[in-house]
Chains A and B, each alone.
Chain A
Amino acid sequence: SAVISQKPSRDICQRGTSLTIQCQVDSQVTMMFWYRQQPGQSLTLIATANQGSEATYESGFVIDKFPISRPNLTFSTLTVSNMSPEDSSIYLCSVVFLWDAGQETQYFGPGTRLLVL
């Protein structure tokens, strides 16, 4: 499986500020995704991070609020802009990687715990 790291692991931020989360993978991967997990909830897809082009956002998420970069096949960033307390969540990146007998599956980074005051 891929080794996925995220920075920062957690942060406490003031409302109105922005935070950029980094996701680094130890090998090249084609598909990368960003998910949000609000407190006590399931995971919701924010966007697909496309290498060399604009991210593909899911309904309810917009580029102005969650700009994403994907400069190469091993790295992506997600920025949470103009934060409010409702943005307090765990943000996770995931990558598609070969699991077994050539099958792909998604592996997740350790997550970034964000608290907005």
Chain B
Amino acid sequence: AQKVTQAQTEISVVEKEDVTLDCVYETRDTTYYLFWYKQPPSGELVFLIRRNSFDEQNEISGRYSWNFQKSTSSFNFTITASQVVDSAVYFCALSHPRVGGSQGNLIFGKGTKLSVKP
């Protein structure tokens, strides 16, 4: 089965707090790709990060960091010193290569709604 689980439905923090959004995935394939997207109240889906199954190196981009651990099938997302503008729904997603090597469709988790209060 191919599945993405985001167990946290909603998280509320106060500005400047650190927050981690959990993502657990299931797949039988050895090659796959993991993603995080942000959906602010405006509704647009904003791409944040992609990770390949063969690249477990963690990623840091400003206040954002991602921890990919194949041993636990997790791809967690941490926001350091959160800000009100970080308030959004965050989706974790999984995809696999199609025949010919191009990327296939995304399988989304249910999303985590993050509210950052001033």
Residues in chain A within 8 A of chain B (CB atoms):
1, 30-31, 33, 35, 41-45, 48, 90, 92, 94, 96, 99-100, 103-108, 110-111, 113
Contacts and interface: CB of A to CB of B under 8 A. Distances in A.
The 9 nearest A-B residue pairs measured at CB: A108-B45, A104-B103, A42-B108, A43-B108, A42-B110, A45-B105, A105-B50, A110-B44, A96-B103
B103 A113 contact: no
Interface residues of B, number: 20
B115 to A, nearest CB: 15
Contact of A105 (B35, B108, B111): B35
Given A110-B43, A111-B43, A43 B106 contact: yes
B71 interface: no
Contacts of A92: 45
A1 B98 CA distance: 21
B102 A106 contact: no
Contacts of A1: 47
A9 to B, nearest CB: 9
